[in-house]
Amino acid sequence: MALDDKLFPINETQTKITDNIKKDGSVAIIMRTQNRPILLVRAIESVIQQTYTNWHLYIINDGGIAKEVNDLIELYKIDINNRLTLIHNPHSLGMEAASNCGFSLATEEFMVVHDDDDSWDPGFLLETVKFLQENPSAVAVITNCLVVNEEIRKNTVKQISVTDWSEWKDLIDISSLICNNVAPPICILIRMNVAKQIGKFNEELPVLGDWDYLLRLFRAGEIKTLNKKLAYYHHRPNKQSSYGNSVISGLDNHIKYRLEYRNALARKALLSDQGNYGILHLLLSDSNSKNKEQINLMTEQNKLLNLRIDVLQSYIVSMNNVIYEIQNNVTYLKRKAFPIKRFVARIRNLIRKFKNK
């Protein structure tokens, strides 16, 4: 198979029988995990704390330690209440292939990918399901979110800072979507019948699979937005740890595949119709200065640079927190040591008096 076919394999929307898809407002929550129990606990709690309860959780343990996951599930057995399908992959298949393990089994009316390191506001499912029920023309809805910068310290998650999601768009159009991924998976609720027609997640992409899926979803219909911060997209600068984010620890891969993926899209468009050269000329024309200026301002280099700056700022905030804790500990020890110092001083005075006698 040619590289372009691997990077962008679906030429047309697939025709699949979707008669077995439920129509009861149910939600399939696909959660992939691998040896990150500290974060998996938070993710599971994020699901069971939803005010909307018509959901089924598909946890795919992608080559991680099975006992750790089984023990966690046992803790939440009552809360999950038979709404769980647990899959243990004997070895890691990769993020998108892991998602497909759950996707292939799911028949709920709606679908969302909930990574093991992200979380929701308790009203996320209630708000998004209601939105799609009230907007039947929408194939999916994207909510706004907050970016939570954090780190793992002594097996505990320490929050460093919280910022707004910089890529938020009130309206999703192809000009913004073709340039960049506009939303993390934790923010997107999709109609299952549309997802089944589009097909599985692209297993050939080690990164950017969510962007690829959004572009394929866009061809099926309108992606609407809900400007409420109902999701939390967590970032951690632990690059050498299993607890790191692919968007940070896999930054070089993101740069490489972003270029190759976009080139594959362009080549396929040109091979299918040479007239598409005209569209490219129009988009890149000097006469369209406003569009060109926007493209220049939103280059991938600037975005990646901003991402690196965010990571460095997170480190700085983290170090300031450590310094603050050390200062507090020193102050505390000084307070505790003061009575001892005073006692020692009294003993010294008594010794001097005794010697002077």
Q: What is the pLDDT of residues 222-278, one digit of tens each?
A: 999 999 999 999 988 655 555 555 554 445 665 566 666 666 666 666 666 766 666
Tell me, what's the pLDDT at 158? 87
Q: Which long-range contacts (CB under 8 A, 24 or more apart) does 304-312 make?
A: 304/251, 304/254, 304/255, 306/166, 307/247, 307/248, 307/251, 308/251, 310/147, 310/149, 310/163, 310/235, 311/235, 311/237, 311/248
Q: What is d(CA 146, CA 321) in angstroms, rounded to the nearest whole number?
A: 21
Cα torsion at 123, 129, 130, 131 (round to 10°)? Answer: 100
Given a cut of 50, the residues of the chain with pLDDT beneath it are 1, 3-4, 8-15, 248-250, 286-290, 292-293, 296-297
Tell me, what's the pLDDT at 248? 46
Tell me, what's the pLDDT at 165? 92
Q: Which DSSP helix (H) or strand (E) runs through 147?
A: strand 138-153
Asked if 178 and 219 count as a contact pair (C-beta separation under 8 A), the reply is no
Question: Tokens 């804790």 map to which residue?
Answer: 325
Tell me, what's the pLDDT at 276? 66
Tell me, what's the pLDDT at 52? 98
Q: Burial code of 73-107, b = ≥16 C-beta within 10 A, e = fewer?
A: beebeeebeeebeebebeeebbbbbbbbbbbeebe
- Residue 157 phi, psi dihedral angles, 5° rounding: -85, 125
Tell me, what's the pLDDT at 180? 77
Q: What is d(CA 278, CA 129) in angstroms, rounded to the nearest whole number?
A: 41
Asked if 58 and 31 count as a contact pair (C-beta separation under 8 A), the reply is yes
Residue 168, classed as helix, strand or coil, is coil
- Residue 279 phi, psi dihedral angles, 5° rounding: -65, -45
Beta bridge partners of 154: none
Tell me, what's the pLDDT at 300? 54
Tell me, what's the pLDDT at 277? 62
